[in-house]
Structure 1
Amino acid sequence: MSKLEQLVEKLCPTGVEWKKLKKCTEMKRGTSATKRTLVEGKIPVISGGKEPAFYCDSFNREGETITIAGSGASAGYVQYWNKPIYVNDAFSIKGNEKISSRYIYHYLLNIQEEIYSTKKGGGVPHVHISSIENFEIPIPPVQVQDEIVRILDSFTELTAELTAELTYRKKQYEYYRDSLLKFGNEVPRVSLGDIATIIRGGNFQKKDFAENGIPCIHYGQIYTKYGLSTTETINFINNDAAKKSKFASQNDIVMAVTSENVEDVCKCVVWLGKEDVAISGHTAIIKHNQNAKFLAFYFRSAMFFKDKIKLAHGTKVIEVTPGKLANIKIPIPSIGEQERIADILDRFDTICNDISQGLPAEIDERQKQYEYYRDKLLTFPKAKLEV
């Protein structure tokens, strides 16, 4: 019998009390502020995203604090902090002597999807404190909470170590990628429009997805589902939706030209399937006569980044007009050299990004283990109240 099982058997064999979050934790809304109203510093400002919005020189929370993002695409995102922070477009949750903040954090991660499901609003979704304050949480004795936290933290620490190693590998990969894609004057620079035809994607939306039919790529999936290249699609559309679509052929590059940030805009995927594939709006379909992977790697490079930010426009939504991509100058070595470079970078890309092998596969496996044990360890029957 494990230590946790012994504790449960001794301290709460018939179940535990469940309470609403607002009854057993300290829940507080953030304080509205902008870069203009705060002084720049090193304290993270927590708002609607998964990363700090910016940094300032003051804080309104310290110690162990859980934050839930208030608005935007990441509204409802749960994070844990153990340092001074400034909670802005978000709200915070803190524990006390009867329920630890770290225990609450693991439990909220276990119901992350339920929190996301409370989003309200059309253009900019929001998650309000009133939407989750009535969620119930099991409250086992503190000794049980501590043992659960110890077990779950051991999984997250290992995942963090692997993620740090992967981050280091990715920095190596980016360095070698940019080194290989820098050329001297012996390699001609040509306008993308001279070697490619660039057309806008079609008009189908996610609501047009079908279980089978015409293979399709939605621009949002380029950010979340696809890597450098693919031979298969995740979704399909029917013939009626296909009629209002544009199509990519084998070796075409599909580029997403709408994003929430300038770093991600223009992310692309090479279509290597034999069958033509329907492409959604907010994309550019690049039909060319070069090595497709070489071009796709170049579109990820620091050199291309400098060019695309000149074309990017918008504030909350960043866009690049497909037609303007034609004017970007890119180096075009011989096809043989393109293939050699693409081959080298393909191997690096597999190590860093392929979820089926290497570090990404190991991280994915550890995350699945953590989620399995988290769900198992945080499941408690409700204690029967004595009459």
Structure 2
Amino acid sequence: MSKLEELINELCPNGVVFYSLWEVTIWDKKFNAVERIKQPKIISYPYLLAAELFAIEKEEGNVFLLSTGEQTGWTTEALAKNYLCVGEVITIPWGKSRPVRDVMKYYKGKFVTADNRIATSSDTKIMLNKYLYYWMISQGELIDSFYRGSGIKHPSMKDVLDLLIPVPPLPVQQEIVRILDNFTELTAELTAELTAELTARKKQYEYYRDALLTFGDEVEWKTLGEIAVDIYRGSGITRDQIITNGTPCVRYGEIYTKYDIWFDQCVSYINEDDVKSKKYFEYGDILFAITGESIEDIAKSCAYIGKKKCLAGGDIVVLKHKQNPKYLSYALSTLNALHQKRKGKVKSKVVHSSVPAIKAIKIPVPPLAEQQRIVDILDRFDSLCNDITTGLPAEITARKKQYEYYRDKLLTFKEAK
């Protein structure tokens, strides 16, 4: 029998008490639609916008940058100024486009935060903050369902605060945290090793691709505006309009989270009657995301090589052309093209690009026969890389699933009657 089993048998053999989250946590602000009785106390934290947060980044600093995304960093107390905070906190982003479990954070110490919603245990003699963090991570998919809106989504904090959390005796929590801390560290080490190997192979491929797509004066360079037969923004499609079956469509977030340099099928569907101004894309069209949480998001583009005609969302730009679509995708993924695409503008918490900015991107445009020759070479190289690396992403995913299964099992209790 493990130590954890012994503790459970000794301290809570008949189950544990479940609390509403608002009963055992303090948050950073009073939320709309949440009864005042559920928030008798708040702890406010001044926050910076994402671009401002990383503008004060300093590598040798000892103040953690609590971003709303996956990127993190450090700064100094001198740079943090009046935004310096201290505490033991769990954060979820106020606005997000990624799964919340990918961006939820725990931190204890000095920090500067972006626009997160921040929680802390109201009494660490009853509930540990690290236990709260692991439990909230385990509820990631459910918390995701509480986010609403089109584009950047925001959570219904009423639903979050009404979640029921099992709170076992403190020694049980401490043992769960110890186990999960160790398991997290081991999983992170293995994932880092596998990811480093995968990254090295991708860099090798990218170097070869960029070398093959480097031309001199013998090849004409054209802007996408010159290449375009037509270029336009898609229609407004909100998350609430997505259904399980209907007309295939793509929203901007899917470009940088689901698709690579090209794709052959859409993963979302909508009722065409729900879209007032219908804008479509079809085989060979190049799609660009022009809204995202970071410059990297809007630097992504891809070619559609599927057979079905699909609807384009409003924060997508569609480029119609007479070039080889795979060639354009390869050319638009080079470092030179990515540098041009990264010239987005930060407005509020979101990074934007535009049709004029996309039209201005310049790439080499050799004859169609040469385009096809390059595509054939890069397709073979891409296949070779995929054959070699298929096991690495699969292994990373398997390790993460193993960890999530084990974590969720540790955090599952029967309720005391």
**What TM-score comes out, normalization by structure 2 length?**
0.74
**SS of the counterpart of 2:347?**
coil
- Selected match of 2:166 from 127, 134, 138: 138
Matched with 1:86 is 112
* CA offsets 1:133-169 (integer angstroms, 9 cap, x no match): 5644322233322332344345433442343235423
User: What one-letter code is carried by the residue in structure 2 that aligns with 1:147?
Assistant: E
1:170–1:101 distance in 2 versus 1, CA, 3 Å: same
One of 376, 381, 404 as aligned partner of 1:344? 381
Q: 2:334 is aligned with what amino acid?
A: S
Summarize the Cα distance change of 1:255–1:212 in structure 2 as closer, same or farther, 3 Å threshold. Answer: same
Alignment of 1:128-167 (within 5 A): 132=160, 135-167=163-195
Asked if structure 1 preserves the Cα contact closer than 8 Å seen for 2:332 and 2:363, the reply is no
1:32-181 counterparts in 2 under 5 A? 32-34=46-48, 41=58, 42=61, 43-52=63-72, 55-57=75-77, 59-61=84-86, 65-69=88-92, 71-73=94-96, 78-87=104-113, 89-90=115-116, 91-94=118-121, 96-116=124-144, 132=160, 135-168=163-196, 169-170=198-199, 172-174=201-203, 176-178=205-207, 180-181=209-210
> Hey, what does 1:297 align to over in structure 2?
330
C-alpha displacement at 1:276, in angstroms? 2.6
The residue number in structure 2 matching 1:17 is 17
Residues of 1 paired with 2:260 and 2:107: CA distance? 31
Task: Measure how far apart 1:209 and its partner are.
Answer: 3.6
CA distance in 2, matches of 1:290, 1:162: 43
Shift of the 194–364 alpha-carbon distance from structure 1 to 2, 3 Å rule, reads same
- 1:320 paired residue number: 353
1:214 aligns with 2:247: yes
* Separation (CA, whole Å) in 2 of partners of 1:122 and 1:238: 16
- Could you list the runs of 5+ residues in structure 2 that have no partner in the other structure? 29-42
Residue identity (%): 33
Deviations 1:226-261 (A, max 9, x none): 233222221233453578433323232222222232
Change (3 A) 1:141 1:31: closer
Partner Cα separation in structure 2 for residue 299 and residue 203 of structure 1: 24
Cα RMSD, aligned residues only: 3.7
Q: Does 1:8 align with 2:37?
A: no
After superposition, the Cα gap between the structure-2 partners of 1:318 and 1:74, relative to the gap in structure 1 and judged at 3 Å, is closer
The counterpart of 1:190, out of the listed 212, 215, 221, is 221
| 1:349, distance to aligned residue in structure 2 (A) | 6.3
Contact 2:194 2:396 in 1 (8 A): no
Shift of 1:189: 4.2
Letter in 2 for 1:190: W
Give 1:337 shift: 2.4
Gaps of 5+ in 1: none
Structure 2 Cα separation of the partners of residues 276 and 93 of structure 1: 48
Q: Does structure 2 conserve the Cα–Cα contact (< 8 Å) formed by 1:152 and 1:374?
A: yes
Match of residue 368 from structure 1: 401
Does structure 1 conserve the Cα–Cα contact (< 8 Å) formed by 2:299 and 2:342?
no
Instruction: Report how far residue 116 of structure 1 moved.
Output: 4.6
